[in-house]
Amino acid sequence: MFSVAILTVSDKGARGERPEDLSAQAVRDAALAWGARVVAYAVVPDEREEIARQLREWCDGGIADLVVTTGGTGLAPRDVTPEATLSVIERLVPGMAEIMRAAGVAKTPQAMLSRGVVGTRRSTLILNLPGSPRGVRESLEAVAGVLSHAVETLRGEVGEHRAPP
């Protein structure tokens, strides 16, 4: 089992103008299906420093094994989630971002416009996901099979990798 924190990046959500956070609910549903537990949730505006501050707080405090962000990954002028994430991560995990984009493109060509990144800070994995519930579900489905292994590796629970004899 691992713990998940959800960060929704949305100006409207931060102002209370969205009654339901359907993207965060999609993350919660996926976490429940994996047997993970959601331990933190926050909504911040599309402000680079506020996003980075929340990521640092959760990662440095050991709050969650996995932090999932939703929103702010597109081309709009205020979409700054990838830049905020890049400012706090210590190591990129480009393969996960690539496979999430590829899975999205298989459904809609607009998915190639997503700029989400994946990386680690300390022992926490950070995933940037689109702001739509459908994009969240498709992205998480694409990487669900490796999340437990990634978390175990970050925790130091997985030893040396060897090829089978």
CATH of the domain at 102: 3.40.980.10
93 is a domain residue: yes
- 20-61 residue pLDDT tens: 999 999 999 999 999 999 999 999 999 999 999 999 999 999
99 is a domain residue: yes
Distances (CA, A) of 21 to 61, 72, 79, 134: 25, 14, 18, 13
Give this prediction's pTM. 0.95
163 is a domain residue: no
pLDDT in tens, the chain (165 residues): 899 999 999 999 999 998 899 999 999 999 999 999 999 999 999 999 999 999 999 999 999 999 999 999 999 999 999 999 999 999 999 999 999 999 999 999 999 999 999 999 999 999 999 999 999 999 999 999 999 999 999 999 987 665 555
- CA 91 vs. chain centroid, Å, equals 14
Q: Is the distance from CB of 30 to CB of 144 less than 8 angstroms?
A: yes
Beta-carbon contacts of 89 under 8 Å, excluding residues fewer than 6 positions away, are 117, 119, 120, 121, 126
**Residue-range definition of the domain harbouring residue 151:** 3-155
44 is a domain residue: yes
Number of domains in the chain: 1
